Structure 1
Amino acid sequence: MRRSLATRLVGTLLLAFALISLLILFQNFWSLRQQQSGQSQAAQLGGLLAQTLAELDDETSARKALQGFMGEYARLRGEMNAAVGPVSVQLLRADGQAVFHSGPQQADPAWPAGLSRQVQDGRALMVYIATGPRWTLQVLEPLPGDALLLRWLLEQIGPSLLMALPLLALPIWLAVRSGLRPLRDFTARVGALDTRRDLQALDLDLRYAELQPLARVMDELLARLRERLAHERAFVHDAAHELRTPLAALGAQAHLLLHSPDEPGRRAAAQALQQDLQRTAHLSQQLLDLAALDPAQGDAAAESLELTELCGLVLRQAYPQARQRGVQLSLEGPDQLRWQGDRRALHSLLQNLVDNALRYGARAVELQLHDAPTGPLLAVRDDGPGIAAEHQALMFERFWRGSQCEEPGTGLGLAIVRQAAERLGAGLRCGPGLQGRGIGFELSLPQRRL
């Protein structure tokens, strides 16, 4: 069975009503207990009887007066459903001889005169004793126990509370149902979205301050989805455009290779075909790298890496191209430096930085590695033409290439570098190049214990 927010809210409010009811019962119970000590019927009855008896001299008159009064008093208590037992009254002469006795209890001779609370045979009594020249009057009022007092309170207050319960529960239910209606409308609106086409902001007024952040967050999420879809559409469009150019060149060179009438023409066509194949393969590999580094693919399992060895591997792989272009490669760093992270992402990042430096006019490329308290620091620096400051904000965009660049390329290298840095959780920034020329890319890896 699914849990319901509405049911939980109503249940919580009804529980609060039950706790308030218990508090009311306890307050009334405590108040009655206090009244038993301060407003005793024994004292009131005893004071009234003492005034009456003070005017009587003979025992017969006193006995008849008490019999008549207590009979009427017992009738009144019966009408009031007093369930704690009868009030006991005892009249004694000055010499201690009993003149009148009513009720089951009798006062202990050791009890003091005046009003006091006593216990007799396990029952609590409120005792009033008045002494005079002729008579000693004793009034014993049985006090109700806690269970009897609570039962009486439930009989008096319980029906009112039960009558109030449905009158309270219905408004609570209506209020909760009305309050959750904007949330139900919001759910229906989100459920009806066609994420393939309709990603416009919902612009819903959820009326309540507690629900408005939900609509705002959903609109922000839809905005990010729109931006991502637009980015992906642009990427697909640019990738198709970039692939179309080498594919067209491949088709043209293949045609020349098949139809060239002389051997030198076929050799030139074959060489151009091979170059275009390499360019197409490079572009395809970079597209695959971008797809593999996409955050939607999830994080790869971290593995223990020897960073000096990995940097050396990247330079060895770049050596044939560097030798062909006359570029000097160097590595500066410790003999060993271990780190834990995504090997593929770090290798792709370093490879593209070195490849970028080789392609765009550098005569020297240096890969630097340092150990720092905050984590390993990597840098790839060159002495090439560098990148103008006004273009550095754009250089990590996909398919972006400088307007003065004549070297064939795809414009994906630095986009791969940025995405790999994000996957590694590393900081990436531009820095100085070599000998006051070129550019450097500095990478700060997060500290991770092995």
Structure 2
Amino acid sequence: MNQPPAQSLTAPARDLLTIADVRAAAQRIEGAVVRTPLLHSITLSEIAGADIWLKFENQQFTAAYKERGALNALLLMPEAQRSRGVIAASAGNHSQGLSYHGRRLGVPVTIVMPRTTPSVKVMQTESVGGQVVLFGETFDEAYAHARVLEQERQLTFVHPFDDPAVAAGQGTVALEMLDVKSDFDCLVVPIGGGGLMSGMATVASAINPAIEMIGVQAALYPSMYSALTGETRACGGDTLAEGIAVKAPGAFTSQIIAALVGEILLVDEPALEHAVALLLQIEKTVVEGAGAAGLAAVLSNRERFAGKSVGLVLCGGNIDTRLLATVLLRDLARSGRLARLRLSLRDRPGALFHVMREFEAHNVNIVEIHHQRIFTSQPAKALITEFECEAQDRAQIEALIAALSSKGYQVELAKPD
């Protein structure tokens, strides 16, 4: 997206959040959150053609940066307010961060989640101290109910992003990064509601205004992108980056981002999946879709970042293990290392043996074999056979297909989307 360069904050926007607020938050939360490492990735730098640095926020206790803002908001509350308790609407990392630090501080925490929330997320939130209330079928319904309970029970609502205290806490990520390396060419930051970017952009603009702030959103949820560009884009769908799947960005955060962020990039689902897989394979670190969004943006826009020093925030690592397994297998299929070949054979002794000899000759390993005789339009004496197989690379699979075709077999290669 081509946007005009970021302008200086107007006076009203400048008053919303300052680096002094972020520095104060850093002192407030020091020792209670992990000062996560910022490490240079040699291999990812070679792959991307840029100088890649990773901030491992997936190493927080609840595996996400959200702890920072939640804790700062709690510590800023008067004791009487904290003793009554706080409430939030969230099915993600904010709920766990708020619950964990609420329990540490003796603050009762209520989290309203949609009834459709996976049970594992409910259990994770309860395990760190949150009292979960299930209400409604959508997040909007859960949010509305949380605001009702806020009034009925005289609780304090802690917004996941549209709150200066929360954004100040999130901005401490940038303080730590720039304390290690202050001369980044750009910081590439995931944007959902905008709390993390608001805090980080505030810090970067004060410490080194030359640093370019670049936001990333899932293409299925371009809410902040649309808000800043005026474009009308559909917003919704099943995205791997559920942590940044926000339909309506924050009003407060939008003002900060409009002033300090020069560009927002959109990334598609295959790019997100590839980035998750790459981080696990190369850095041996588990990230959720939102946490991989920055790397996905860099790899999808290589010319844009070529030769630049780039800071990426691995903002969270909460991903369902079954989903992670699916992502890894799909990435293997896209790379050509995993394939499914469909052949029509004659149903006679030795037919399968001759085909398997070709697999052996090309050193392609067969993982599974599926036969289909009944539900097919082929003649009764035909045998549809599917081979799931693994190889070193796409070229090895292509050589096998060529060899089978040369021997008269009709071969179909299933391609992942």
User: Do both share a fold (TM > 0.5)?
Assistant: no
Q: Which has the higher contact order (CA 8 A, sep 6+)?
A: 2
Higher helix share: 1
Q: TM-score, normalised by structure 1?
A: 0.18
Q: TM-score, normalised by structure 2?
A: 0.19
- Higher gyration radius (CA): 1
